Amino acid sequence: MVVISVKAGIKFNNAVSTYIKRLAEGISCNGETVRVLMYTHDYSWQETVINNVTYINSLKGRLRSRFRFIRGLTYYWQIYIATWCFILSLKKEYLHPICVHIGDSDVIRLNLVLACRILGVDYFANILEHPFRAGKGARKAFISKVTSLLSPGTIYISHGLKNELGHQHGLVVPPTVEAERLLRIPGQQADSRKFTIGYCGTISNYKDGFDILVGALQLVRDDLKSQIKLLIIGDSNRKDQTIKSFEQELSGLQPEIELQFTGRLENDEVMKHLQGCQLLVLTRPENFQTRYGFPSKLPEYLSTGRPVLVTRVSDIPLYLENGISAYLLDAASPVSVARTIEHIIQNYAEACEVGERGFEVAQKVFNNQVQGKRVLEFCRNPQGAL
């Protein structure tokens, strides 16, 4: 039996919650019982089952108090007391339960690893980003050291993160996509009047390099620029300010590029929109965050079977080959992105073959059943991890 604990909600509308849902379902498809304990402030639900995975609200159906002080006590009660009760109940019900924790909350992580250690449950941290990014290096380093000493192994999202923080026994597990999406390449229902370029994610510069994409579109040849439609799925941390500034910048181009902003969508809607594109773009710059993380949207891009243009950051070159399964750029410069977009538009039959081979990589590598099996085998035998 595997339990996954995380500080997240049940809506599955961000990278962390979607990562958890797919991993949990991948483990479940390999014949293991999976429960997900969700630390949340949401009082609207108690427990639900989705695709054979049981999701449990750590609030346990308690009524929301109108007093903020009481709500605060309830939240810390669920982190401390309820966690121990939950782990104890698992130990009584199952012979060898396994706990996988995803998230960067020091309080939850330390309490959970102590509860598992004392109550005889194997604890594994699943680290999605570098824990020292927030300027709290000393505390983060101490917590990471303690949890490493008290756990048989650690799961990392990238090899860079594993090499930097490496536990004696570690496993690299990238983000995944549902296996049922990888049975065949989805049919394309694109706008035949335009060459649609799709972007999905936070509209930001530091992590996602959205300004690089905007700069590249300005440099595309005029005769090709008039053919382009840019589809943007997501929103900005600064809300309308960032979106409006980019919209003004692109709307001033001559010839003008057609724009479509969808805002944040549920995952199923995201996939439908991505399937309607001729090209999917991810222009992440090289920096601390992109070096140790891994873009959760890349498996989604590849699962559409459309050609993907992406920069060589993190582990991406380990899985994809330039001109074979994706278009990889050494540096996220507007000029190189613009020239590659022009090449893809003018050689789209070749690009479609690249997209098909990228889909095959998704089937073999970013399949949640494949990675779920690896996680399960690792948790059962961390010394034998590859």
Instruction: DSSP for 274-332, please give it.
Output: HHT-SEEEE-PPPSHHHHH---THHHHHHHTT--EEEE--TTHHHH--BTTTBEEESS-
Range of the domain at 275: 181-364
Examine the domain organization and report whether 223 and 336 are in the same domain: yes
The pLDDT score that the predictor gives to residue 280 is 96
Q: Where are the strands (E) in 103-151, listed by range?
A: 122-127
Examine the domain organization and report whether 209 and 349 are in the same domain: yes
DSSP sequence for 18-35: HHHHHHHHHHHTTT--EE
Provide the token pair at 288.
């601390």
Q: How many domains does the chain have?
A: 2
Examine the domain organization and report whether 324 and 371 are in the same domain: no
Contact 282, 314 (CB under 8 A): no
Examine the domain organization and report whether 246 and 329 are in the same domain: yes
Examine the domain organization and report whether 255 and 124 are in the same domain: no
CATH assignment of the domain containing 139: 3.40.50.2000
CA–CA separation, 146 and 217 (whole Å): 48
What percent of the chain shows pLDDT beyond 90?
A: 39
Q: How many CA atoms lie within 13 A of 102 on its CB side?
A: 25
Examine the domain organization and report whether 224 and 357 are in the same domain: yes
Examine the domain organization and report whether 239 and 114 are in the same domain: no
The one-letter amino acid at 22? R
Examine the domain organization and report whether 227 and 338 are in the same domain: yes
CA–CA separation, 4 and 352 (whole Å): 38
Examine the domain organization and report whether 35 and 110 are in the same domain: yes
The pLDDT score that the predictor gives to residue 21 is 92
Give me the average pLDDT of each 10-residue run along the chain (386 residues): 74 83 94 89 84 86 69 73 86 89 79 89 86 61 74 90 81 94 75 84 77 88 90 72 62 71 82 91 85 91 96 94 95 89 96 96 96 94 74
Examine the domain organization and report whether 133 and 147 are in the same domain: yes
Examine the domain organization and report whether 214 and 342 are in the same domain: yes
Examine the domain organization and report whether 26 and 143 are in the same domain: yes
Whether this prediction's pTM lies above 0.85 is answered by yes
The pLDDT score that the predictor gives to residue 215 is 87
DSSP sequence for 110-121: HHHHHHHHHHT-
Distances (CA, A) of 366 to 2, 90, 286, 321, 370: 21, 30, 22, 15, 8
